[in-house]
Amino acid sequence: MKRQQLLRRNVRLLQIWTFFRWFLVFMPVLVPFLSQFGLTLQEIFVLQAVFSLLIITGEVPTGMFADRFGRKPSLIIGILLSMTGLFVFIQGGNFWVFLLGESIMGVGSSFASGAHQALLYESLDEIGESRTYTQESGRMHSISNVSEGLAALAATGIATISLVATLWAGFFAKFAALAILFFMVEPKREIHAGPQLAQLRRVLTYIRRKRTLVYFIAFVVIASVATRTGAWLYQPLFVEMNIGIELFGLLWAATLFVAAAASWFAHRVDTLIGRRSGLILVLLTGTFGFLLVGALPTLWGLGAIILIQVCRGFTGPFLEDEIHKLVPSDRRATVFSVKNMLHNLTFAAVIVGVGGIAEQSIFIAFMAVGVGLALLGTGTLLVLLRKTVIYK
């Protein structure tokens, strides 16, 4: 098979890999699973905060590893660590055992976070199709949401057998993702020789000098932290609204399918209304979604989750494409790891505060996230649109 065919196959294999990587059958019932070991809602949120803080230490070094040694080895290590962490979860225990498991999975996730995006872009770039990145990235985001949605539907049945069975299902899905990686080829990339700390300093200096890149990273962090926080508020919201646990999987699946549809059609929306309007759309859908859920403690408010998920679906394809255009290949995975590090640091700070608010009122928690997104997102977007020229 010719190299161009192998690189084009990379794109399809990445889609399949994405499906199995995100087939997280345990997610819709994770709160009940942890609760049966005595963890409170506040402890679960603290667990997520500590998890995010711990993986921060791995984000930049793993991005540098992928830039130096390759995207494929980084992805293989990431999946192996994720399987190990999930196996620790399956064993069960107390707060500290789950913290260990999440930490291992977090480091595994950091190995994959920048590498899979770089592998996609560089595979397309080598065959002269980098212009299709927004479309292909949107498809991958869509597939990840469809996978989570189907996993949520599967959880509805599997959880009736055993909650731990949902974790085993996720474990075997990870194994399938690992197998797929061995059929991929490494695309060409620039390899910057020299000490890795020097490479990190060069990347950080590059980011500081590229003001446009700074603004895009800031905006994507604000939007993605808001939607990730919202996802952790959904299950407590279902409980507050007296929705039976047997419907959790179905509702979780519905939210993910909405995000999947938004990601799938992101490139069409981008072409239709332009990148500037697309960024404004990301901000408006997220802000109004959170505010409406908080203001309307009814099924109408519950329906506003659709807007939050549309924001989630658009964020990745719109903003990651711009970052790829601004960053050379020898620094791309490291830059994405810096972005992910900032995301996790911000999330860790936000989720603890929002968790405390949610213990008092889940609706006020949604309002707080909406106000924060409106203020920080609007400020960043105004600077971004004033200081930069977005042609698309």
Are 260 and 145 spatial neighbours (Cβ–Cβ below 8 Å)?
Answer: yes
Q: Does 306 have pLDDT greater than 70?
A: yes
Q: Structural domain of residue 314, as residue ranges?
A: 3-185+196-387
Is 367 within the bounds of a domain?
Answer: yes
Asked if 358 and 230 touch (Cβ cutoff 8 Å), the reply is no
Angle at which helices 211-240 and 248-264 pack, to 10 degrees?
160
- 178-218 pLDDT per residue, tens: 999 999 887 776 655 454 556 566 666 766 667 777 788 88
Q: Give CA 11 to chain center in angstroms.
A: 19
Phi-psi region of 315 (alpha: psi -120 to 50; beta: other; left: phi over 0): alpha
In angstroms, what CA-CA distances link 330 with 63, 70, 126, 234, 336? Answer: 11, 11, 14, 39, 12
Per residue in 327-345, pLDDT tens?
776 666 677 777 877 888 8
Instruction: Judge whether 191 lies within some domain.
Output: no
Q: Number of folded domains in the chain?
A: 1
Q: Is 392 a member of any domain?
A: no
375 belongs to a structural domain: yes
How many H-runs (helices) and E-runs (strands) does the chain carry?
16, 0
- Whether 298 is covered by a domain: the verdict is yes
Does position 56 have pLDDT exceeding 80, yes or no?
A: no
Average pLDDT, rounded, for the chain: 83
pLDDT at 198 (0 to 100): 63
Indicate which CATH number applies to the domain containing 236: 1.20.1250.20
Residue 152 has pLDDT above 60, yes or no: yes
CA dihedral 59, 265, 176, 331 (to 10 degrees): -30
Q: Is 307 helix (H, G, I), strand (E, B) or coil?
A: helix
Residue among 258, 252, 267 at smallest CA distance from 285: 258
Tell which residue, 230, 228, 221, 388, has the closest CA to residue 320: 221
Q: What is the pLDDT at residue 392?
A: 43
pLDDT of residue 292 exceeding 70? yes
Distance CA 81, CA 309 (A): 29
